[in-house]
Structure 1
Amino acid sequence: MNKAEFEQLLKRYRDDTLQDGELEKLYAYIDEGTYPEVIDQWLDETFQDPAYAVHSKDYDPSAVFTLLEDRLEKKKRVFGWWKAAAATAAAAVILLLVNISLQQRNKPVPINVTAAADFDAPPGKNGAVLTLANGSQILLDSSSNGVLAQEGNARLLKEEGRLNYHKNGIVRNATPVYNMVTTPRGRQFKLVLSDGTQVLLNAGSSIRFPTVFTGRERRVEISGEAFLEVAQTAEMPFVIQLNKSEVVVLGTQFNVTDYSDEDNARTTLLEGAVKLRTAMQEMVLKPGQQARMERNNGRLSSKTVDTDQIIAWTRGRLSFDNTNFADLMRQISRWYDVDIVYKGAIPDIHIGGSLHRDVNLSIVMEFLGTNGVHYNISDRTITILP
């Protein structure tokens, strides 16, 4: 084993630049245990990096490494993971241990975890339900590639795991025909609308839209969370109807979040320009800004945000930036299709960290367990204990 290569693999993992096959190599180095000092040095560098750290050294590197080894060995024994999966788990645990130390800088990483589980959930995957104009439904998880239906003046094709709407020639003043794509918990899905707009739906979301756009605007309805790359058509603005607000777009990349179980709806702009409208206010966003609409009073506010963190889910990551515990558990509930029950008060902690979305639920919950969060998992229900 090459020490320099191990160092580079850890650095590339932290920078999210690992190539195909390198997670397996990273696991092999960790599993061999030849260079524990490399882990120590990597943790030191991470804590000293302004992008990750608060310049604190009140963590125990040996405890981190021991906990990492214990978790990997437990996973191999209990779940019989092959090395590729274990590599993903290993990398996830490393980064999460670092980040939780950052968030709780006055607490060393604990070794004793109080948790019980007789159930483990795989991560979410691609899939959705397509509802046609006549109310019939097509399960996109299992449907084959090819033509699925003819809806109005559009032909529906499933190609390479996504749904494409192809307009049949020039359409003028046709009566709109509406479809809906819904992602249940534990699913995400990509579709391309008839104008070329690309939509990626997160878990627990939906979009309702005409199969072909006609008239003066392109109007769709979205609930949950979606990332959109809107095709530019200046003479026909793109309008998203949310629960109590709407987003007017000309051509841009942005993320919308409007879950009914959250206190606010959020629109985050990456490129271009969007206008937010409510019954009381209007607001124009610039790239890098996020608008929030409070459900209780409808008021809009804006701030500058880390857009990479906001759209991390589109790149296969769960990312937390000082996220409160209840928000974190809602994300876990949607992606892993589990229910959350609190026995007692909701823990008053904030979480920072990141991990790949293709790890099992048990890895995520062990991350929380290292923070002193007590829980049981049974029959697709996570019970948070006092």
Structure 2
Amino acid sequence: MTPSEFETLLTSYTSGTCSQEERELVESWYTHAAEHSDMPPLDAAELAFYRQKIWNGLEQPQPLHAESHRAGRKLWLKFAAAASVLIAVFAGYQFLGHKSPKPKLTAVRTAPDILPAANKAFLVLPDGREVNISNLTEGTVAQFGHMTVRVKGKGVISYKIHPSVRAADRDIWYTIKTPAGGQWPVVELPDGTKVHLDAASSVSFPLSFAGRRTVSMTGQVFFQVVHDESRPFHVRANGIDIEDLGTDFNVKAYPDEQEVETTLVEGLVRVSKDTRKVMLVPGQQAVSRSKDARLERRQADVIGVLAWKNGVFHFDHTSIEEVMQQLARWYKVEITYRKDVSEVTFTGDLPRNLKLSRLLEMLSVTGLRFKVDGRKIEVTN
């Protein structure tokens, strides 16, 4: 069976139109491939990760009868995510098991292993001082300048204005930022909007949304905006303005990348750059490039875009330079190259909670070698 034939089978599987025999084929194949493929062997935790990711979506693949469009779309995304994992694993199995010998694991480590990113963030006060909010325990209520911060749960913080703040001080801006090697699951803004920050990212906001709701950001941030028809929510990112009317959307705007990507999951947004404007519907993406004035609209791989938020690295024929760039942010490491690797790509989903050495072992199927010295990684072919 070819990968395209298997993808067709998975499509009928996830839509609930496959036969019992076909269903048993898919499920038995996964069990066999997970335990007997020639890929670098998975330990118990990693095997559980892939199995759970698939079974969560495919345990009951009957036709969907959602109560609403929103619920139906979320169920569809869940099934599509599981199918994409099976397809990626199948493609890797075909390549490794039938087209080439098992590669040597070539991640060479000369220092203690590096752990994945953890919940770590800083609150930047108007005077430039930084407060490590990662040290605040659940239930803590702390006063920072005119802001009262409350830790509502693990990785969840909210803030409100101190009652004594004068009207003139309500436009003072604060920033919450994550370093390389850090992330922050949820920041609740005063209007109820929730913000999720990836590694090396930031969101800046005024003390109060007294008038127009506007924030700015860098890096990669997922927004769950509370609807307020009288006050649209605006996000500014590297020359782009995103106007939202009650929506879930993702913005990727790292300063060291050439593109700003806005991906819409639910609702409606208007993306503007200079005089250009595009409207997005769910499943679409607006792309702006720093080298020109264009603003393009295209269909998005929503599952892939949101993978980071769900604890997964998602790569689809991704250049090894981009793969390593993501690892540099997540593990807080520096990447160097001894030879040209511009033609090397990688496809697959990998857990973000792996130690660095284990993840590099998985990437070694590309034929590359990785030498780790402290927080420096040298890549060569």
Q: Shorter-normalised TM-score: what interval? A: 0.7 to 0.9
**Matches of 2:151 and 2:160, distance apart in 1:** 11
2:125 corresponds in structure 1 to 132
1:198 corresponds in structure 2 to 194
Give 3-state SS (helix, strand or coil) of 1:354's partner. Answer: strand
2:148 corresponds in structure 1 to 155
**Matches of 2:342 and 2:95, distance apart in 1:** 14
User: Residue 323 of structure 2 aligns to which amino acid in structure 1?
Assistant: L
TM value normalised by structure 2 = 0.75
**Matches of 2:327 and 2:143, distance apart in 1:** 34
Which runs of 5 or more residues in structure 2 are unaligned? 1-9, 15-25, 54-84
2:368 corresponds in structure 1 to 373
Q: Post-superposition shift, 1:150? A: 4.8
**Contact residue 38 and residue 97 of structure 2 kept, 8 A:** no
1:35 corresponds in structure 2 to none
Q: Deviations over 1:214-236 (max 9, x none)?
A: 12x11111000000001111111
Give 3-state SS (helix, strand or coil) of 1:64's partner. Answer: coil
**Matches of 1:104 and 1:305, distance apart in 2:** 29
**Matches of 1:213 and 1:382, distance apart in 2:** 44
Give 3-state SS (helix, strand or coil) of 2:347's partner. Answer: strand
1:281 corresponds in structure 2 to 276
Match of residue 317, structure 1, among 299, 312, 317: 312
**Contact residue 267 and residue 281 of structure 2 kept, 8 A:** yes
**Matches of 2:97 and 2:323, distance apart in 1:** 20
2:73 corresponds in structure 1 to none
Q: Post-superposition shift, 1:182? A: 0.8
Matched, 1:210 2:197: no
User: Residue 149 of structure 1 aligns to which amino acid in structure 2?
Assistant: Q
Matches within 5 A, 1:1-386: 41-42=29-30, 64=38, 67-68=40-41, 72=43, 84=45, 98-101=90-93, 107-108=99-100, 110-119=102-111, 120-145=113-138, 146-152=140-146, 154-160=147-153, 161-167=155-161, 174-175=168-169, 176-189=171-184, 190-215=186-211, 217-386=212-381
**Matches of 2:307 and 2:148, distance apart in 1:** 32
CA separation of 1:135/1:172 partners in 2, compared to 1, >3 Å: closer, same or farther?
Answer: closer
**Matches of 1:129 and 1:344, distance apart in 2:** 37
**Matches of 1:114 and 1:121, distance apart in 2:** 16
**Matches of 2:46 and 2:98, distance apart in 1:** 32
Q: Post-superposition shift, 1:298? A: 2.7
**Matches of 1:105 and 1:268, distance apart in 2:** 36
**Contact residue 63 and residue 109 of structure 1 kept, 8 A:** no
Q: Deviations over 1:315-369 (max 9, x none)?
A: 1111112222111111111111111111121341222211221111112101111
**Contact residue 121 and residue 361 of structure 1 kept, 8 A:** yes
User: Residue 205 of structure 1 aligns to which amino acid in structure 2?
Assistant: S
User: Residue 143 of structure 2 aligns to which amino acid in structure 1?
Assistant: A
**Matches of 1:85 and 1:357, distance apart in 2:** 11
**Contact residue 341 and residue 380 of structure 2 kept, 8 A:** no
**Contact residue 103 and residue 364 of structure 2 kept, 8 A:** no
User: Residue 200 of structure 2 aligns to which amino acid in structure 1?
Assistant: G
CA separation of 1:321/1:184 partners in 2, compared to 1, >3 Å: closer, same or farther?
Answer: same
**Contact residue 324 and residue 348 of structure 1 kept, 8 A:** yes
**Matches of 2:248 and 2:52, distance apart in 1:** 30
User: Residue 136 of structure 1 aligns to which amino acid in structure 2?
Assistant: R
User: Residue 231 of structure 2 aligns to which amino acid in structure 1?
Assistant: M
1:26 corresponds in structure 2 to none
**Matches of 1:86 and 1:363, distance apart in 2:** 13
Which runs of 5 or more residues in structure 1 are unaligned? 1-10, 16-37, 47-60, 73-82
